[in-house]
Structure formats: C-alpha cells, structure tokens
Amino acid sequence: MNVISLKQFDDLGLAEPILRAIRAEGYTTPTPIQEGIIPIMSQGGDVVGIAQTGTGKTAAFVLPLLQRLSEQKSKPQATACRFLVLAPTRELAAQIDKQVRIYGRFLNLKTAIIVGGVKPGPQIRALKPGVDIVIATPGRLEDHLSTGAVRLDRVETVVLDEADQMLDLGFMPAIRRLMAKLPPSRQTVLLSATMPKQIRRLADDFLTDPGEISVAPAAKPIDRIDQHMMLVARADKRAALLEVVGVSNVDRAIVFTRTKRGADRVCQHLKKAGHKAAAIHGNRSQGQRDRALADFKKGRITMLVATDIAARGIDIDDVSHVINYELPNVPEAYVHRIGRTARAGKSGVAISFCDPSERKQLRDIERLIGRALMSDEDRKVLETAVVPEAPPRKKRVRAQVKPWPGNGDGSRKPKRAKPKSGARKTAAKRKSQKQRNAPSRRDRVSA
C-alpha cells in the first residue's frame, strides 16, 4: 500500500502478540486511516471514519479491539459478546472475520460470524458460551436476538462498517433497532465510504463527540486506477466485452452487471468464448459464492461476473481490471466497484461501457467523482443518440377459470371422454415428446 507516514506500528502502543502478527503480514507502516483511528479508539473515543475499501480500514478498527482483548481478557458471559461489528454483506463479514483471525492469531480469542444464507444452528452453538467478537449482518443478528440466542447488553464497542452500503441495502431501521439494544455507555465506530445525509444523522444520533478521520476525499476513486469510459451500444456490449478482454492484458477481472440475470448471461457468454468465468450474485447459494471466490483467488477462473451486492467485501489483491458492463444506478457504487482493483499499492484498470440509455448514470458518476470520464467526441454522440425505447413489459394475464356447469346428472367432476383404443398411447407419446422439448423449470428460472 502506498503510504506516506512517519509513524510505525510499533509507535501505536499495540501489544507484542498483535505487532508480531502485523509483522508476519509484512506491514510496518500504518495507513493514514489506521494512524487516525487506532489512537482515538484506544482511548475509548467514538470515531467517524470516511474511507473506502482498500485503505486498510478493517485493520484500523480490528487492531484496537484486539488490543483491548489483550489488555483485559475477561470470560464472556453466556450468549453475550464484548465487541460487535455490523457489516452489510456476508462477504464483507467473512472478510472482517478473516482479518480478525490474522491479526489475532497470537491471542486466544473467540469470534462468531453471524450471517444469513446459512443454517442458524451452528451460529446458535457458537454464541452460546459467549464470545469476544461477533461479526454480523443486521438481519440475521436480529433473528438471533429475537430468539434469545444472543444478547447485546454487554457490548463495549460497536463498529458499523460500510454504513452507506447498509443504508443502500435498506438496513437502516434494523441498525437503529439494534443500536437501541446496546448499553448507552458503549464506544461506537462508524465507517463509510460516503457520507449521505442519513448516515450523518445516524452518527449524530448514536455517537458522542466523535473524532472524524477522512482519508482521500469521500467518493473520490483511488488515483492509481486508470479509468476508461467507452461509448458502446447496448446490443454491442457482448462483442465489446470479448474484444476488451482479448486485447487488454487482463489477468484477473471482475465484470459488473446491474442484474442477477445479466450476470448469468454475461458469464455464459464469456464461457462460450473460452474464458474461465463464474458468476456471483444473490441468487447463488453461499457455497456457490464461496467456491467462485476461492477459484478466482487461486486463479482457476480469471473472470468473476458480479452484481454490486455480491461484490461487497471482495478483497483480492491482484484484480487487474474492473469492467462495468453496465453503469450502476447509484453513483457511489461506481467508486466501490472500481475500488476492487488497485488494492494494496498496485495499479489497476477500470473499463466501463456506457450506452445512450445510461446518460444519466454517467452524469451522476462524473458529478460525484468531480471529473469527466468520456472523451468529448464520444460525448457528442452520446448526447445526440436516440435512446431506443425499452420493449413494453408483457402483462401477466390471469387464466379465466370458468365454473364447471356440472354433468347434468348432479355430479360436478368433469368427465373425460374415454379415448379410443390406441389413442391413449398416442397421447402419452405426444406428451412425453413435448416434455422432452420443453425447457426444464431450472432453465426457465435462470433464462
């Protein structure tokens, strides 16, 4: 990571087992967000941190929590925890858990990861004896709270990670409910890449006199990313994708689509063209997502096609390219997407396809990051292009069910005419042939 700092980790008052783990990772210098947050958190203060992923923000809050555990290791009470970290997605929660294990490997600590999409039983068992750190997504944590599997009245510090994403995903009411269950004397840390009004209000409502640390102006993508915005008609995007991945030096790319179906289609298209690709999105099981991520990390696949939500928390250092097959509706998502490349001090390339129907999205992104992304020549074409109207959505027509008038003999069950001999066989044959030709249910769902 490119860090200009005079401080070393040794100067931050961290315990030896934590410093040993940091050294084992090869880090000597704290990043600016770490340099800002660690001292405030260590003194028990509340913090608002404005930082994107890739800045070292996870270690910034994990290290002071571990420090407190190393200073005072009390036995947690049954179903209680000392520290609570809330994250928007399972992937980010897993990522945080991983970092806790890395930096806390020489401390004897108990953590529990509480996320949706997996069976609750093992989580309940993990929570039962009490743990040091709970890393959770809000929905599943509320479930466990309602059944008494976890209690939050012993929480000393709560961290809200990627608060703006939790807002986008509709978690704000759940977060407010959870915050109300915490002891009022707790320490609160809020991290967010951007500071929309609702997040500012959340900070005002739940934090006391927080120190504010902001690294890199909010929502400005990291300078090391080489950003390209290409004008591509919607119908040409598939061909453009193959061209881009064919000519560019794409070692490992994440391709973003707006929809889950879109992700599947693009993935199929890449596979057909001979690329090793996998799709991750909300309709895939946790097992499928984990497998795709592991394959991507190990290099068994070189292209991961993802939707925004599924991509949160992906922390893979060598992503050479981010390709925005479609521009996101929320401009902040652009910053998050391209932040998947150029991590840990490396450079990266972001290539985005913009078709005339995405003019507004482009304008919003450019306004947010404060610079033009498209060449003047392309922009002229974009501004004057006629946006083809989207085909009207087919209306679902409910089948009219007519009441059966009866058989004239008092019975109401429809009577079928007996097929002539041989006719039954032919009908069955016709039916099985029809079934063979019809798409399976799975095909219909994923089409």
Amino acid at 65: L
Closest Cα to residue 262, out of 246, 280, 274, 275?
Answer: 280
Strand order in the sheet with 47-50: 111-114, 131-136, 81-86, 157-160, 187-192, 47-50, 211-214
Find the part of the chain contacting ligand AMP (CB under 6 A) among 47-55, 180-188, 327-335, 364-372. 47-55
Find the part of the chain contacting ligand AMP (CB under 6 A) among 51-59, 143-151, 159-167, 283-291. 51-59
Work out whether 216 is an interface residue with ligand AMP (CB under 6 A): no
CA–CA–CA angle 215, 216, 220 (5° rounding): 140
Q: Which two tokens stand for residue 380?
A: 């002229």
Smallest gap from residue 39 Cβ to ligand AMP (A): 15
Rounded to whole angstroms, the Cα distance separating 276 from 298 reads 12
Q: Binding marks (x or -) toward ligand AMP, 57..96, rule CB under 6 A?
A: xxx-------------------------------------
Work out whether 344 is an interface residue with ligand AMP (CB under 6 A): yes
Work out whether 31 is an interface residue with ligand AMP (CB under 6 A): yes
> How many residues make contact with ligand AMP (CB under 6 A)?
17
Q: Which two tokens stand for residue 294?
A: 């592991």
Please, which residue, 31 or 188, has the CB nearer to ligand AMP? 31
The CA-to-CA distance between both ends of the chain, in Å, stands at 42
Closest Cα to residue 350, out of 273, 240, 244, 242?
Answer: 244
Find the part of the chain contacting ligand AMP (CB under 6 A) among 54-62, 129-137, 399-407, 408-416. 54-62
* Residues present in the chain in total: 447
Find the part of the chain contacting ligand AMP (CB under 6 A) among 11-19, 30-38, 188-196, 420-428. 30-38
Please, which residue, 31 or 302, has the CB nearer to ligand AMP? 31
**Core vs surface per residue 87-121: b (16+ CB within 10 A) or e:** bbbbbbbbbbbebbeebbebbebbbbbbbbeeeee
- Element (DSSP H or E) covering residue 429: helix 423-437
Which residues within the stretch 217-246 sit at the binding site for ligand AMP (CB under 6 A)?
none
Please, which residue, 27 or 325, has the CB nearer to ligand AMP? 27
Work out whether 54 is an interface residue with ligand AMP (CB under 6 A): yes
Which residues within the stretch 304-323 sit at the binding site for ligand AMP (CB under 6 A)?
315, 317
Q: Which residues contact 144 (CB under 8 A, 6 or more apart)?
A: 114, 120, 123, 124, 127, 150
What is the Cβ-side half-sphere exposure of residue 120, based on CA atoms within 13 angstroms? 14
Smallest gap from residue 342 Cβ to ligand AMP (A): 11
Work out whether 194 is an interface residue with ligand AMP (CB under 6 A): no
Other CB atoms closer than 10 Å to residue 245's CB: what's the count? 21
Work out whether 55 is an interface residue with ligand AMP (CB under 6 A): yes
Smallest gap from residue 305 Cβ to ligand AMP (A): 21
Find the part of the chain contacting ligand AMP (CB under 6 A) among 52-60, 155-163, 186-194, 422-430. 52-60
**Which residues of the shown chain bind ligand AMP in the complex (CB under 6 A)?**
1, 27, 29-31, 34, 53-59, 315, 317, 343-344
